[in-house]
Structures are given as structure tokens and as C-alpha cells.
Amino acid sequence: MLCSIAMRFAFAALCALAITACARDSKADRAAIDAVVAEFNAAIAVNDHPRILAAFTPNGECASEDRPPIPIAQALKETPPKRLPWDERTALRIHIDTVRFPAPGLAIVEATQSDSQPTTGHLRRWRCTFHVMKSGGEWKIVSYRDRES
């Protein structure tokens, strides 16, 4: 009986340590995911293709609205610059709404991006989804989808 109580106590202690370690990993993963999404947004805002590509896995893809997904490198070649020096829109903003972890090393990020045009007051807002994956110890974007809200 005494051995059984000691084993239960040891098992409970190991579980507590595992939960603490998972929470620590989870916080670190969440911070890294927030950082890669913020870097993507900052790179898009200044049309910095190398930074955008660096945020994605080598086979990363993107899709807008109802268009089928295409490789991110191809999308960058086909998309006109979104931010030009004379563009009067305010800075591109992003707000992460949710992050879900359906499996270890995989996360789904739901976010809202927005900008506005100061001269007209017109606000644009759209929803986007990122699928991110831990690759080589780093979180990278596997796919990006946006759609008007």
C-alpha cells in the first residue's frame, strides 16, 4: 500500500512537471507564432519579397478570396505592389484573434488585417488564416488565406 501511494505521488509529480513544461513550450510557441505573423505583416507592408519568403516554408502557398492557392514565390511575382511610396493608406495592421494547435508543431492562426485611407476615411478590414508549422526548430508559414470580412 505504501509503495502504491509513493508511486501515485511520483506519478502526480511527473504529470505536474510535464504540464508545466508544456505550458512553457506553449507560451514560447505562441510568442514565436506571433512573431512570424508580425514579420509577415511588416514585410507585406513594405513589399519586401525576401522577408516575405523567409517567413514561409519552401513550399509555402497563399490564396486570396476565391482564387486557388499558388506558391508564395509565384504569388509575389504576379501581385502588384501593395505599398507604393505615394500610397496614402495608413500602416497595415494585424490583430491575431485565435491560435489553435490541432497537433504538435502545427498551428492555425485566425487574424484580422486592416488599413485605411486618411483622405477619405475609408477603412478596409479583412480576415485571414495562417497555417504555421514548426520546421527546423522555427515556426514558418505553410499557407496564408485572406478574404474580405
pLDDT in tens, 46-102: 888 999 999 999 999 998 877 889 999 998 888 766 555 545 567 788 999 999 999
Mean pLDDT over 16-28 rounds to 53
- Mean pLDDT, rounded, of the chain: 80
Mean pLDDT over 116-137 rounds to 86
Burial of 47 (0-12, 13-18, 19+ CB in 10 A): middle
pLDDT the model gives residue 116:
79
pLDDT the model gives residue 44:
85
Mean pLDDT over 26-36 rounds to 94
Contact 55/39 with Cβ under 8 angstroms? yes
pLDDT the model gives residue 58:
94
Res. 26 pLDDT band, cuts 50 70 90: confident
How far is Cα 70 from Cα 62, in angstroms, rounded to an integer? 6
Q: Residue 123 is placed in which grid cell?
A: 477603412
Would you say residue 111 has pLDDT above 50? yes
Would you say residue 105 has pLDDT above 70? yes
